[in-house]
Structure 1
Amino acid sequence: MSSSQAVRDSAKKLVNLLEKYPKDRIPHLVTFKEVQVSRFRRVAGLPSVDDKGKSVKDKKPSLDEIKSIINRTSGPLGLNKETLAKIQNSVSNEKFTEESINQQIHALSTIMGNKFRNYYDVGDKLYKPAGNPRYYQRLIDEIEGKKNENIFTAMRTVLFGK
């Protein structure tokens, strides 16, 4: 098996693992999962997909197409040579090996398996401090929008700490 085929197969495994990665609890414009899946889909040679799982054609030029445009012309879009040199130096040159992708697969599976959370368990003393045992639960409820505090309960919390 050639090295490029091995890299593609490893990237496919990484994409499958990334698709199992849980969604963020707080919605963001761009998430880790979305960025990494689109990045490694290109490496694996897989088509891009939208939220519903349908393949879509990329409207944006790929990194290779941008590099090609920059290298083919002496001054694209009226850029002087100094600016062009800065752009060429700042464009990342991603070269993946099978070993580097396998390391990323191992790291992601470790994160998804909560290996270090289980290994360095902190216990209830930190999760439920004696002075304010509901502190972290109130934060999580507020983030998830389950329970909103009104002005009176917020003032009570500030004044009395509970």
Structure 2
Amino acid sequence: MSAVIREAASQLVKSLEKLPQERVKHIVSLKESQLERFKAVAGLETNTQDAKQRPSMQDIKDIINRTSGPLGMQKEAMAKVNSMLPQEHYSVEALQEQTHAVNDLLNNKYKNYYSVGDKLMKPQGNPEYYQRLMDEIEGKQKETFWSAMRTVVFGK
């Protein structure tokens, strides 16, 4: 890859590293998966422990391409799998667009543009609903069994 593409990818990696950790743990983290993907393009080292344990997309492509039929697959099925794998071609413009999009997320551009008013955030029927959800996600206040039952029965 050219030096310009590597530089654009390293700019994207710097922006991705600024993203906060996800509050709710998932099987796959958007931040970690994108960092792994673009560090390879930028020529940087990936230092995640999970990356060593599971195969990357490039490893999977290599396995498929070097064998005529892994796991007893027929040639037609292999051709179909090969055609379904994403072919990534990076351009400077595409990487700059992605960097711009990540920076917009970091600056809360869309949160500020599409602001939600109190009418939606504190509905008249249950004004504490969203605040209780956020407290539960952030681990501030754990609801007990009895308070959860009270919420279900009375709605507040």
Same fold (TM over 0.5): yes
Aligned counterpart for 1:79 among listed residues 65, 73, 79: 73
Superposed displacement of residue 82, structure 1: 1.1
Q: CA deviation at 1:102?
A: 0.5
Instruction: Give, in angstroms, the shift of residue 50 of structure 1.
Output: 2.6
Structure 2, unaligned stretches of length 5 or more?
none
The answer (yes or no) to whether the contact 1:8–1:43 under 8 Å persists in 2 is yes
Partner secondary structure for residue 95 of structure 1: coil
- 1:33-48 matches, within 5 Å, as 33-48=31-46
Per-residue deviation, 1:15: 0.5
Q: What does 1:19-58 correspond to in 2, within 5 Å?
A: 19-50=17-48, 58=52
Tell which structure's C-alpha radius of gyration is larger.
Answer: 1
**C-alpha contact 1:48 1:58 (8 A) present in aligned 2:** no
Query: What is the distance in 2 between the residues matched to 1:148 and 1:63?
Result: 39
User: What is the percentage of aligned positions where both structures have the same residue?
Assistant: 51
Segment drifting more, 100-109 vs 134-143: 134-143
What is the deviation of 1:13? 0.4
1-structure distance, mates of 2:34, 2:110 = 22
2:106 is the counterpart of 1:115: no
Alpha-carbon displacement from aligned partner over 1:91-127 (angstroms, at most 9, x marks no partner): 2110010000111011111111111111121221211
**What letter is aligned with 2:133?**
L
2:129 aligned residue: 135
For normalisation by structure 2, the TM-score amounts to: 0.85
| Partner Cα distance (1:135, 1:31) in 2 | 27
- For residues 105 and 39 of structure 1, the distance between their equivalents in structure 2, rounded to whole angstroms, comes to 14
Determine the structure 2 residue equivalent to 1:6.
4
Q: Which moved more, 1:121-130 or 1:15-24?
A: 121-130
Q: What runs of 5+ residues in structure 1 fail to find an aligned partner?
A: none
TM-score, length-scaled by structure 1: 0.82
Greater share of helix: 2
